[in-house]
Amino acid sequence: MSNNFGGRLFNNTSGPKTSLTSKIWRGAIVLFIIIAFSVSSYIGDTNIAGYYKVKQAAGFGDLTVISDEGFFWQNFGFLTEYGSYGTVTLSDDEMDQKGASSVNDAVFVQFPDGDARVDVVFQYDMPTSDAQRLDLHRRYKSDKAVKHMIATQCIEAVKQTGPLMSTGEAYADSRSLFTQLAFEQLTKGIYAATVRMDTLIDPNTKEKTLVKKYSPKLGKDGLPIVMKGSLLAEYGIRISQFNIKDIAPDGKTLSLIDARKDAQLASERALKEKALGEELIAKEKANQEVAKIKEVTIAEKEKEVASLEAQKRFEVEKYNALTALEEAKKIRAQGDAEAAKNRALVSAGLVI
């Protein structure tokens, strides 16, 4: 009986110890798994196509670029991921904003004669050299900050292009030149500018307004002088598919543009009508000259014919006169011969 009691007592005293030990082991295993799982994310990582990573090594902090696709050893280093390329959209159009890497509102641009909102869409390629990638990382630290820098550079370039032409020129007549200058200032740097005063005339009121007209300042080589370098060029970021999708002037400026366009069309119509009138006058004068020439030609021809007829008659009359003279001479000669004959007969006494 005492043995049974001792067995029950032993089992009762060892049961809680076994349960506690088991819980400790299970907890340790779970903790190990959690730690191992957490640490494993710092052991290795995978780089996918279209991206590259900058790894800052644990300890000394050395920076390296991981650009090859696939698995690589992270070795507890800190990783920053960058897209190798992307699209920047500066537009109020929701369709333009879909799928863009960086989205901002349209650029507000001040022109010499008004304001406009300019929609810009373009693609960019990040630098391909590790040195430039590391320089870019040291300065901006993240892909988001780089995209913000690219968008900011574009906004400045487009804004600095506005003063170089009127709203009407950028809106219609010189859209390609506006796009070219904006692209050049984005990729090469902001141009130094010269300024002159220009007079604008309101087509409706005929009111004259003095405005400042800017143009790129050229160096001795004939190229624009860059007063502020492009960060994109500095870090080897390339721009492609640069497109000014829309230029939307404010209401007042758009009315002035339409009025100037109507005035220009009216002026062109007047010039065409004037040219047409001058052409008709020239044709009429030409027709008159042709008629006059015809009349002169006919008169000269008639005169020539009359002269020829008169000459012909003169020749005929001259011939007839000569013929008559010769006939008269012949008759006279015959008469003289007959008279001489008669005188001879008389002298001979043959004629009584």
Local structure of 259: helix, strand or coil: helix
272-293, pLDDT tens digit by residue? 777 777 787 888 787 887 788 8
Confidence (pTM)? 0.62
pLDDT tops 50 at residue 91: yes
Enter the DSSP assignment of 56: E
Residue written as tokens 């020829």?
308
pLDDT at 8 over 50: no
Distance CA 214, CA 196 (A): 7
321 versus 123: the higher-pLDDT residue is: 123
Q: What is the DSSP string of 110-176?
A: EETTEEEEEEEEEEEE---SHHHHHHHHHHH-SHHHHHHHHHHHHHHHHHHHGGGS-HHIIIIITHH
Strand partners, 349: none
Q: Which fold has domain 84-249?
A: Tetrahydropterin Synthase; Chain A (3.30.479)
pLDDT mean over 142-168: 94
**Does 94 or 47 have the greater pLDDT score?**
47
Sequence spans of domains, the chain:
44-80, 84-249, 253-352
Tokens, residue 54 = 């900058």
Tell me how far apart the alpha carbons of residues 150 and 144 are, in angstroms, rounded to a whole number.
Answer: 10
